[in-house]
Amino acid sequence: MSTEKIPYKIYLEESEMPKAWYNLRADMKNKPAPLLNPATHEPMKAEELAGVFCEELIKQELDDTTPYFDIPEDIRNFYKMYRPSPLVRAYCLEEKLQTPAKIYYKFEGNNTSGSHKLNSAIAQAYYAKKQGLKGVTTETGAGQWGTALSMACSYFGLDCKVYMVKVSYEQKPFRREVMRTYGASVTPSPSTETQVGRKILEEHPGTTGSLGCAISEAVEKATTTEGYRYVLGSVLNQVLLHQSVIGLETKTALDKYGIKPDIIIGCAGGGSNLGGLIAPFMGEKLRGEADYRIIAVEPASCPSFTRGKYAYDFCDTGMVCPLAKMYTLGSGFIPAPNHAGGLRYHGMSSTLSQLYADGLMEATSVPQTAVFEAAEQFARVEGILPAPESAHAIKVAIDEAMRCKETGEEKTIVFGLTGTGYFDMVAYEKFHDGKMEDYIPTDEELQASFDKLPKMD
Ligand SMILES: *Cc1c(COP(=O)(O)O)cnc(C)c1O
């Protein structure tokens, strides 16, 4: 089909929106390793998780065999407020780069929370409400997840208690106010409100916090407060399931025009947007129906895939959560306060970890200043101010497009543009003022963290 016929933005009709989420695990021969009870090292049973998570979400978490889960109508209606998200042909960027590559991006920043996180937040809030809970607790790094969850909770009339990583709380006061606008209460983490927070503060005085710390606090709060459960915005299988809506829409849009991607690229923090974007494509790959190059992009300052160990580890710094087998830098690893807060998690989705271990996807890491150069280049031609997290994917998409320019190959590249960067102007300011640092952990630092991985036998 000639390129002239492909519009700048491929939208779907409401009737073309997915009616079920796709569970990638159903097609995996090697299933992701189960969550383990940290005391017994036995797989976590649904009953054991029930004090922490909502019942329906536990079912989704533990189900490795059901390929499709119907999206409840209330959630589909909420999705219709801001979805389908556009799949954009980056004609202007292609022109600027003078590349023969065809570049597409799936833009998830068209909602107030500014990222893809709302796709799972609304699902998790729905199941919490359905279970008759009063409220939920959570952590937020950069603030996108907390904002998304605040929106979802206010929609269903649930309380929302957010522990926000301290460095972000200070860097992004406006994010905090958006959350409060939606009725959430927001506490900087580590805090003195929880036992685990007090312990972390004693051990690391002056720490700027991490997602791992904030998770521990949110879990403690949920398990010690009547009628509350804990919800998580990434990493978990259930979150990847909800985020499959991104990939399903992308696939439908591409199929409409007979487009087959060669390379699919996404940034990876805990792996949810990438897991969601690639889901139907990886499904085809697993079933032997098609092949794609799939690339995860992570910050050089927090390189879970590229320099981490594939091992059982705690999901949180306070070591209160179950053990997950994943590429990890160690639950005690507190990354340098870089400006892609959403990518500062020490571990990685166990589903993506298994796929990576099986050689079904690639990973690469990029330093922060290169990411902001790509972000600025993209903003100037495509008109969207990207989130620093998203700009990791932009950077590698541009690199791949430039490689096509050298070789003359007309590859089709699809990447996930997960969100907007309006709350990241402190980071952009540092970049513009030449004050941005590319902090990369040393092997010794990583080894010190690996030495503290739980001993499994
Ligand atoms: C949270 C976030 C990410 C990273 O999280 P994943 O679970 O790896 O997708 C990426 N981009 C944006 C804009 C985010 O808010």
Q: pLDDT (tens digit, 9 = 90+) per residue, 116-165?
A: 999 999 999 999 999 999 999 999 988 999 999 999 999 999 999 999 99
- CA 67 to ligand 1 center in whole angstroms: 24
Q: What percent of the chain has pLDDT over 70?
A: 98
The residue whose CA is least distant from atom 3 of ligand 1 is: 342
The residue whose CA is least distant from atom 5 of ligand 1 is: 269
**Cβ(117) to ligand 1 under 6 A?**
yes
The residue whose CA is least distant from atom 1 of ligand 1 is: 342
For the segment 228-251, the average pLDDT, to the nearest whole number, is 97
Give, in order, the Cα–Cα distances in Å from 285 to each of 198, 248, 279, 355. Answer: 47, 15, 10, 11
pLDDT higher than 90, residue 288: yes
pLDDT digits (tens, 9 = 90+) for 65-80: 999 999 999 999 999 9
Give CA–CA dist 36/350, Å, rounded: 12
pTM, full prediction: 0.96
**Cβ(115) to ligand 1 under 6 A?**
yes
How would you write the chain as a 3-class SS string?
Answer: CCHHHCCCEECCCHHHCCCEEECHHHHCCCCCCCCECCCCCCECCHHHHCCCCCHHHHHHHHCCCCCEEECCHHHHHHHHHHCCCCEEECHHHHHHHCCCCEEEEEECCCCCCCECCHHHHHHHHHHHHHCCCCEEEEEECCCHHHHHHHHHHHHHCCEEEEEEEHHHHHHCHHHHHHHHHCCCEEEEECCCCCHHHHHHHHHCCCCCCCHHHHHHHHHHHHHCCCCEEECCCCCCHHHHHHHHHHHHHHHHHHHHCCCCCCEEEEECCCCHHHHHHHHHHHHHHHCCCCCCEEEEEEECCCCHHHHCEEEEEECCCCCCCCEEEEEECCCCCCCCCCCCHHHCCCCCCHHHHHHHHCCCCEEEEECHHHHHHHHHHHHHHHCCCECHHHHHHHHHHHHHHHHHHHHCCCCEEEEEECEECHHHHHHHHHHHCCCCCCCCCCHHHHHHHHCCCCCCC
For the segment 330-359, the average pLDDT, to the nearest whole number, is 87
- CA 120 to ligand 1 center in whole angstroms: 12
Identify the pLDDT of residue 318: 74
Identify the pLDDT of residue 1: 47
- CA 133 to ligand 1 center in whole angstroms: 27
- CA 233 to ligand 1 center in whole angstroms: 9
Identify the pLDDT of residue 168: 86
- CA 273 to ligand 1 center in whole angstroms: 6
The residue whose CA is least distant from atom 14 of ligand 1 is: 342
Identify the pLDDT of residue 4: 58
Q: In testing the pocket of ligand 1, which one of 389, 415, 424 has its CB within 8 Å of the most ligand atoms?
A: 389
**Cβ(392) to ligand 1 under 6 A?**
no
Report the amino acid identity of residue 225: T
- CA 77 to ligand 1 center in whole angstroms: 23
**Cβ(342) to ligand 1 under 6 A?**
yes
For the segment 265-275, the average pLDDT, to the nearest whole number, is 97
For the segment 300-313, the average pLDDT, to the nearest whole number, is 97
pLDDT higher than 90, residue 317: no
- CA 40 to ligand 1 center in whole angstroms: 32
**Arithmetic mean of pLDDT over the chain:** 95
**Cβ(144) to ligand 1 under 6 A?**
yes
The residue whose CA is least distant from atom 4 of ligand 1 is: 269
**Cβ(389) to ligand 1 under 6 A?**
yes
pLDDT digits (tens, 9 = 90+) for 171-208: 888 999 999 999 999 999 999 999 999 999 999 999 98
The residue whose CA is least distant from atom 7 of ligand 1 is: 272
The residue whose CA is least distant from atom 13 of ligand 1 is: 419
Least confident of 100-109, 263-272, 342-351, 374-383: 342-351
Give CA–CA dist 385/102, Å, rounded: 21
Q: What percent of the chain has pLDDT over 90?
A: 88
pLDDT higher than 70, residue 2: no
Residue 222 pairs in a beta bridge with none
**Cβ(388) to ligand 1 under 6 A?**
no
**Cβ(343) to ligand 1 under 6 A?**
yes
Report the atom number in ligand 1 closest to the C-alpha of 233: 7
- CA 239 to ligand 1 center in whole angstroms: 11
Identify the pLDDT of residue 167: 87
Identify the pLDDT of residue 212: 80
pLDDT digits (tens, 9 = 90+) for 361-378: 999 999 999 999 999 999
**Cβ(272) to ligand 1 under 6 A?**
yes
**Cβ(212) to ligand 1 under 6 A?**
no
For the segment 285-297, the average pLDDT, to the nearest whole number, is 98
Contacts for 77 with CB less than 8 Å, ≥ 6 apart: none
pLDDT higher than 70, residue 337: no
pLDDT digits (tens, 9 = 90+) for 375-428: 999 999 999 999 999 999 999 999 999 999 999 999 999 999 999 999 899 899
Report the atom number in ligand 1 closest to the C-alpha of 419: 13
